[in-house]
Structure 1
């Protein structure tokens, strides 16, 4: 993955062998083979290492489908908070059913697509039943300078940030930090900060009744007008429209817009 990615879906990953390293949520984490992993892909994430020759499976669920799945609220909350959850158990049938989902989802047969979606929901329910035992992702302390910049942003995006202050925190000259970040991740420091702030605001719009101005400020934006501008550019709709769509999905009726 040449640059950080983000999309408003919940992503399930499964490797048949080897391991996969993500830079996600302010740290570099490792997913081992045959362990189902789940995270909210609206959080900027990037594959930074991959071991093994086998391809890995990726299933994405629209956020609305995930919220409708009837999954335990604890799992939903942890996913929307930006955790990468890994099943504590290896399920011997996972690889087989991921193969089947790959064939049935999007093949044009409504009956097979429905069956696959119901099976995905059932798998999420099984994961939720073990969520208290879900393992913390294996991590590695070996962070490059670029990784350190990305992790600092992920942990501090709610604060006022500039390229200069971020570079200084890592001990780099600002021009070098900006060049290194763009070369490594294919995006600017400013854009990466904005992506994290938008992801934070999306979670608050869905899960709270907070006023939109307060959400903008809590997410790190300095003004409501700037928040509205960036949100629409990234999400294709206003914060108010986004809240209305997803609150309708989960049956919430926000009292403060």
Structure 2
């Protein structure tokens, strides 16, 4: 069974994949620029994903954007589950409903609401695992289509019956914008701990900052700066909950240029101070 090795380079891509896992302790968070789709057959797995603990439940497909740092912190012996990955660019080409795309890009987890698809999903993942061991380009293309279709089913299941037009609208990619958007999100995911700006992000994609901000907003419904800030706050919250690092050190290592700015943004997004958050979410027993 595959597992994460501590010397694996940060932000290394998995590409299109599907493997059967037995969980093991992760010595550090992993992050990679694919949509990760999990299917737990039996047992229990708990991740720290960004800023929260996520409990994977047996029989329910889950999906999240794996550029958000994620780390297994607890699991039940004899747990077995499938992990599939779909490159972000291919995911964005699906033009899936915004009810799925936008939460994933904000670092949230999408979970299948009902358990009645467990047998169907188990069969799908088993087939994907077998197919992706083959060298056939045609078979791989079929797997991509099936992954996209399964995600579309997930999006439909997540839609509220009373959802408005905005909830049902597809997150369509502007013509020629896919590569630019992927370059921007990759740059943010790989550099948010540094003092980067919207100008830097636009330049990384070969765009004027104003064009970059318009394209990003039109695609994800959030601004470049908001997305960058969320990455930094996710990082800070994970460190607050899992380490005993000083808060000022966490602020600067998360990409903030001052402790006052960090405290201001943290309170705006989290509704509490970093110290209060650490006291409430002390996952590692490190204390305040």
TM-score bracket, normalised by the shorter chain, equals 0.5 to 0.7
CA distance in structure 2 between the aligned counterparts of 1:31 and 1:193, rounded to whole angstroms:
27
Residue in 2 that maps onto 1:207: 216
Residue 83, structure 1, aligned to residue 92, structure 2:
no
Q: What residue in structure 1 maps to residue 82 of structure 2?
A: 57
Higher relative contact order (Cα pairs below 8 Å, separated by 6+ residues):
1
Q: 2:63 and 2:224 mapped to 1: Cα distance?
A: 28
Whole-angstrom distance in 2 between the partners of 1:76 and 1:215: 14
Q: Name the CA shift for 1:132/1:51 in 2 (closer, same or farther; >3 Å).
A: farther
Partner of 2:146: 119
Q: 2:57 aligns with which of 17, 28, 32?
A: 32
213-222 or 78-87, larger mean C-alpha shift = 213-222
Give CA deviations for 1:208-248 in whole Å, capped at 9, x if unaligned: 2799789767866457xxxxxxxxxxxxxxxxxxxxxxxxx
User: How far is the alpha carbon of 1:56 from its aligned partner?
Assistant: 1.0
Answer yes or no: is the 8 Å Cα contact 1:216–1:222 preserved in 2.
Answer: no
Give the equivalent residue in structure 2 for 1:74. Answer: 99
* Structure number with higher helix proportion: 1
Structure 1 segments (4+ residues) deviating >4 Å: 209-223
Compute the displacement of 1:51 (Å): 1.6
Structure 1 position 26, deviation (Å): 1.3
Structure 2 CA distance for aligned equivalents of residues 111 and 217 of structure 1: 40
Give the corresponding residue for 2:46: 21
Q: Note if contact 2:106-2:230 (Cα within 8 Å) is conserved in structure 1.
A: no
Give unpaired runs (5+ residues) of structure 2. 1-25, 161-189, 203-211, 233-254, 258-288
Give the conservation status (yes or no) of the 8 Å contact 1:13–1:59: yes
Give me the whole-angstrom Cα distance separating, in 2, the residues matched to 1:41 and 1:79: 9
Task: Indicate how the Cα distance of structure 1 residues 7 and 70 shifts in structure 2: closer, same or farther if over 3 A, else same.
Answer: same
What do residues 108-146 of structure 1 show as CA deviations (whole Å, max 9, x unaligned)? 10111111111111100110001136xxxxxxxxxxxxx
Name whichever of 95-104 and 52-61 sits farther off.
52-61
Corresponding residue of 1:94? 121
Paired residues, what number? Answer: 162
Q: Select which of 42, 64, 67 maps to 1:42.
A: 67
Matching residue of 2:236: none
Can you give the 5+ residue segments of structure 1 that lack an aligned partner in the other structure? 134-190, 224-257
